[in-house]
Structure 1
Amino acid sequence: MHTDLIVKPGVSLAGIAVRTTNAVETGGNGRLSGLWNDYFASGVAERLQGNHAHLIYALYTDYESDATGAYTVLIGHERGDVPVPSGLAQAEIPESKFLVFKTKKGPVYEVVAQAWQEIWAFFEQSTIERAYTGDYELYDGRSFDPAAAEVDIYIAVK
């Protein structure tokens, strides 16, 4: 898996969110697939009228501890200059150093799940430490093909 180290400025997001754990997600009662379904049914991008509306963020934030604890996932977009519509959650991606992992090309649910497995294994072996301040998957809605997706995953590091 290809990785790059970059520094990115902070970003304000709005969208829909759910709290979960990796144990819940791998145990058959995962909430993330339902969150994605709700995102596509909700018209979040149209409601926000934000900057770069074609970019879809899946932000992992508010970590309880580390990869074993609870965290919040927000699927949404960069906030625009208009007030955030009621019913949408807000979150910040703080300015950070990120390791960027690029998935293989393939069915989105398969390649993203496989990439996260590889990311966890990478950090078990690496001297680089995760910051747990806000990690995210970035999708480009202009060219998104769920059957042949290639996704960048940004992991905040110390």
Structure 2
Amino acid sequence: MAYKLREVTVRTNNSEEGTKVISEIWEDIVSGKLPILFDTEHMFQQGVSPVSKYSNYSSDESGDYDLTIMAVTAGFFRKMETAVSKGLYKKYDEKDESGEIGVCTRKAWEKVWLEQKSGNIKRAFTQDYESTVPGEYTKDGKPHCYLYIAIK
């Protein structure tokens, strides 16, 4: 009997050790070891996308938080766009011209932190979401990082 997980959660932070834990979890998901995108028989689950949820912040981005990696459907993104239109979240969309998904992710988070530091946004630190999309799945052929940041 095949099964799949809907999500996996780990308590971590943005330290070097914490980011290593995040990388290891992603490796386990992409390889199918944690059956979120694939079931236990290594069959890819059509119509799902991986999304990272950051929640249960101990303070701000410098403290511990829960990272949940979830399998979502298109309805999740429609729901988030509605939350953006209501002013509950701010959406960030960064891409990388050289094709590096890690670079566009770093650019997106740096933009959030810069806007936060300058006072342009006031983060709620409730639940934030990240979706990274490889270039082969985007209209412009570039990898994108979409962040949905909860704001006050």
Q: TM-score range by the shorter chain?
A: 0.5 to 0.7
Q: Which has the higher contact order (CA 8 A, sep 6+)?
A: 1
1:21 paired residue number: 13
Q: Please state if 1:150 is matched with 2:141.
A: no
* Aligned pairs, number: 127
Q: Please state if 1:135 is matched with 2:128.
A: yes
1:7 paired residue number: none
1:111 positional shift: 1.4
Aligned with 2:54: secondary structure? strand
Aligned with 2:95: secondary structure? coil
What's the TM-score once normalised by structure 1's chain length?
Answer: 0.66
Q: Which runs of 5+ in 2 are unaligned?
A: 40-45, 74-79
Higher helix share: 2
Query: Is 1:45–1:76's contact at 8 Å kept on the other side of the alignment?
Result: no
Aligned with 1:35: secondary structure? helix
1:30 positional shift: 2.4
1:117 paired residue number: 110
Q: Please tell me the root mean square deviation across aligned C-alpha atoms, in Å.
A: 3.3
Q: Which runs of 5+ in 1 are unaligned?
A: 1-12, 80-92
Higher strand share: 1
Q: Deviations over 1:21-77 (max 9, x none)?
A: 11x24x686211111101112231344xxxx84322111111111111100111121
- Which of 65, 74, 85 is 1:71 aligned to? 65
Query: Is 2:37–2:49's contact at 8 Å kept on the other side of the alignment?
Result: no
Please tell me whether Structure 1 or Structure 2 has the larger radius of gyration of its CA atoms.
2
Quote the sequence identity (%).
27
